[in-house]
DNA sequence: ATACATGCAAACACTTTGCAGCACA
DNA sequence: TGTGCTGCAAAGTGTTTGCATGTAT
């Protein structure tokens, strides 16, 4: 199993990096590439996103509201997700290295990692709701 | 909008309560009811699970690995999910009431709640992996 | 009586897979 | 020059929706 550096794989890694702030979905990555590079297949994007996250080159973020999103920031950190639009952004809070060891052993479950997701509403969606309420 | 107490709605709430320890998926709730009460529709189960969780009678747990699961424990608490079988169980750790206020304000995002998911491997799946490794 | 709820099937959103041809090492 | 990778389409999984009918109040 010799790994190859295909043009597509590189394009996908570049796209995740350049869409960094967006925490892009697979579809966003696909259409970002497709606009400049028509002909790439969606399956190739999905396959490579899995490959790259399993290889530790990018991070797959499994959020409460699908679809999954991808991040090129490898340092562990937490996210906030808007319950209206589903957009996510980084949460400005220190990473809790000790929290896993504070869980009391249960049924032989071995903890390997943890995620914290703050749920709420982003400024844009909040403004829209206020606007709609005033319109009534 | 007058809410009705249908037989199906009651069956679904009862099923969530009786499958409590399993943290059942919609499909598990459906087949639990269907085995005793053939004819119930899947859509009815999905619709009522949404309804009941929005009304605050049950809790919808959005886990990293789908499908969603449901819980009749209303007190906020955290979960552990096995990366192999996807089963979830409660994490024995105190609920952190102050954590949301420790996130520094970012872009006007309003935090309303938070979730912590511990990811790892359950005893059963861990034993299976050890067994497979020995078989090689 | 009436309008909310149901059951069915189809649609939907997201992701994975099978396969023939392609291209990187 | 072989085999890992691609693009396409189809299938798979989980959930929602449209609609005619049923039923709780």
Taking 60 as the threshold, does the pLDDT of residue B136 lie above it? no
Q: Tell me the fold of A75-136.
A: Dna Ligase; domain 1 (3.30.1490)
CA angle B89/A112/B127 to nearest 5° reads 70
What are the sequence ranges of the domains in chain A?
Answer: 1-62, 75-136
Helix pair angle (B26-36, B42-54), 10° resolution: 120
Smallest CA–CA distance from A61 into chain B, residue: B64
Mean pLDDT, residues A21-43: 96
* Nearest amino-acid residue to D22, taking CA and C1': B6
Beta pairing partners, A136: none
The reported pLDDT for the residue numbered A52 is 97
**pLDDT tens track for B37-81:** 999 999 999 999 999 999 999 999 999 999 999 999 999 999 999
The C-alpha atoms of residue B65 and residue B122 are separated, in whole angstroms, by: 14
The reported pLDDT for the residue numbered B67 is 97
- Could B100 and A118 be called an inter-chain contact, meaning their C-beta atoms sit closer than 8 Å? yes
Query: Residue A47 phi/psi, 5° resolution?
Result: -60, -40
Report residue A136's pLDDT band, with 50, 70 and 90 as the boundaries.
Answer: low
Query: Which chain B residues in 32-91 sit with Cβ < 7 A of strand C?
Result: 39-44, 47-48, 51
What 8-state DSSP symbol labels residue A105? P
Taking 90 as the threshold, does the pLDDT of residue A1 lie above it? no
Report residue B103's pLDDT band, with 50, 70 and 90 as the boundaries.
Answer: very high
% of chain B surpassing 90 pLDDT: 90
Smallest CA–CA distance from B60 into chain A, residue: A64
The reported pLDDT for the residue numbered B73 is 94
The reported pLDDT for the residue numbered A71 is 97
Is the separation of the CB atoms in B46 and B40 below 8 Å?
no
Which bases of strand D have any atom within 7 Å of the beta carbon of a protein residue?
Answer: 4-10, 13-18, 23-25
Interface residue of B53, B108, B110 to substitute, partner A, most A CBs within 10 Å? B110
The reported pLDDT for the residue numbered B123 is 95
H or E stretch covering B134: helix B123-135
Q: What are the angstrom distances between the C-alpha of A21 and each of A7, A25, A80, A116, B122?
A: 23, 12, 13, 19, 34
Indicate the CATH number for domain A1-62. 1.10.10.10
Mean pLDDT, residues A114-125: 96
Mean pLDDT of chain B: 95
């Amino acid at each position: 199993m010799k790994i190859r550096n295909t043009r597509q794989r590189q394009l996908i890694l570049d796209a995740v990096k350049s869409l960094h702030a967006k925490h892009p979905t697979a579809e966003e990555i696909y259409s970002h590439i497709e606009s400049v590079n028509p002909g790439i297949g969606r399956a190739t994007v999905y396959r490579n996103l899995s490959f790259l996250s399993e290889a530790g080159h990018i991070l797959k973020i499994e959020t409460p509201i699908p679809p999954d999103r991808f991040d090129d920031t490898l340092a562990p950190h937490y996210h906030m997700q808007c319950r209206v639009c589903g957009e996510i952004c980084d949460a400005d809070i220190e990473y809790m290295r000790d929290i896993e060891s504070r869980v009391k052993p249960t049924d032989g479950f071995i903890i390997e990692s943890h995620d914290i997701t703050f749920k709420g509403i982003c400024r844009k969606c909040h403004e829209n709701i206020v606007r709609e309420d005033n319109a009534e």
